[in-house]
Structure 1
Amino acid sequence: MTRVTQEPYETHEPYEMHGLHQTHEPYAPYAPYEMSEAHEPHETTPGTRADPPRRRERQRLDAALDRLTATLHGMTAHPDEAQCDCHWGSEEELALLKVPGRELDPDLLERTWRAPDWRDHPALLRRILPQFAAHLVDGRIEALFGMAEVGHCLARGKWQEWPEGQGAAVEEFLRAWWAWTLTEPEPPVPAHDVLTVCAEASGTPSPWLGMWQQFAGPVADRHLAEAVAEWEYDLLGDALPWAAWDRAEEKRRKLAAWLVRRAPDRLRAHGAPDELLHRVRLLGLEGEPRWTDPHWPGHRY
Structure 2
Amino acid sequence: MIPDRTETSGLLDEALAGVAVAFQGMTAHEQESNCECHWGSAEELALLKTPDVPLDEELLRRTYWAADWHYPGLLLRRILPQVTERLVDGRIVAMEGLDSLARFFAVSPWHEWPKGQQAALRRFLNVWWVHVLVEPDAKVPAHAALPFLAEATTRLTPWLADWAEALVDEPARRHLVEAMDEWMYDLQGDALPWPSSHDIDAWAPALQLWVIRHAPAVLREHDASAELIEDISRFSLPDSARYDKPLSRWRAGRPWPE
Normalising by the residue count of structure 1, what TM-score does the alignment of the two structures yield? 0.78
1:294/1:300 CA distance change after superposition, 3 Å: closer
Whether the 8 Å CA contact 1:146–1:242 is kept in 2: the answer is: no
Question: Within 5 A, what are the aligned runs for 1:124-135?
Answer: 124-135=75-86
How many correspondences in the alignment?
Answer: 252
- 1:199 aligns to 2:199 (yes or no): no
Whether the 8 Å CA contact 2:186–2:193 is kept in 1: the answer is: yes
Distance 1:274 1:187 in 2: 30
Distance 1:182 1:272 in 2: 21
Whether the 8 Å CA contact 2:227–2:248 is kept in 1: the answer is: no
Distance 2:247 2:73 in 1: 48
**1:213 match: secondary structure:** helix
Distance 1:145 1:232 in 2: 22
> Which of 159, 174, 178 lines up with 1:222 in the alignment?
174
Aligned to 2:14: 63
Aligned to 1:94: 45
Using the TM superposition, give the Cα deviation of residue 294 of structure 1 relative to its aligned residue in structure 2, in angstroms.
Answer: 4.5
Deviation readout 1:33-69 (Å, 9 max, x if unpaired): xxxxxx15x7xxxxxxxxxx22311211111111001
Normalising by the residue count of structure 2, what TM-score does the alignment of the two structures yield? 0.91
Using the TM superposition, give the Cα deviation of residue 274 of structure 1 relative to its aligned residue in structure 2, in angstroms.
Answer: 2.5
**1:151 match: secondary structure:** helix
Aligned to 1:36: none
Aligned to 1:76: 27
Of 114-123 and 274-283, deviating more is 274-283
Identity percentage of aligned residues? 43
> Which of 284, 294, 298 lines up with 2:236 in the alignment?
284
Distance 2:103 2:140 in 1: 17
**What are the ranges of 5 or more consecutive residues in structure 1 without an aligned counterpart?**
1-38, 43-52
Using the TM superposition, give the Cα deviation of residue 295 of structure 1 relative to its aligned residue in structure 2, in angstroms.
Answer: 4.1
> Which of 159, 163, 173 lines up with 2:110 in the alignment?
159
Whether the 8 Å CA contact 1:282–1:296 is kept in 2: the answer is: no
Using the TM superposition, give the Cα deviation of residue 297 of structure 1 relative to its aligned residue in structure 2, in angstroms.
Answer: 4.0
Question: Aligned letter for 1:190?
Answer: P
**1:86 match: secondary structure:** coil
1:271/1:143 CA distance change after superposition, 3 Å: closer
RMSD (CA atoms): 1.9
1:136/1:298 CA distance change after superposition, 3 Å: closer
Question: Aligned letter for 1:218?
Answer: E
Distance 2:94 2:143 in 1: 14
- 1:266 aligns to 2:234 (yes or no): no
Distance 2:96 2:51 in 1: 30
Distance 1:299 1:260 in 2: 17
Structure showing the higher helix proportion among its residues:
2
Using the TM superposition, give the Cα deviation of residue 145 of structure 1 relative to its aligned residue in structure 2, in angstroms.
Answer: 6.2
> Which of 159, 164, 168 lines up with 1:213 in the alignment?
164
Aligned to 1:237: 189
> Which of 204, 207, 211 lines up with 1:255 in the alignment?
207
Whether the 8 Å CA contact 2:102–2:151 is kept in 1: the answer is: yes
Aligned to 1:106: 57
Question: Aligned letter for 1:185?
Answer: P
Deviation readout 1:111-169 (Å, 9 max, x if unpaired): 00111111111100000011011111111124546733322211211222211111111
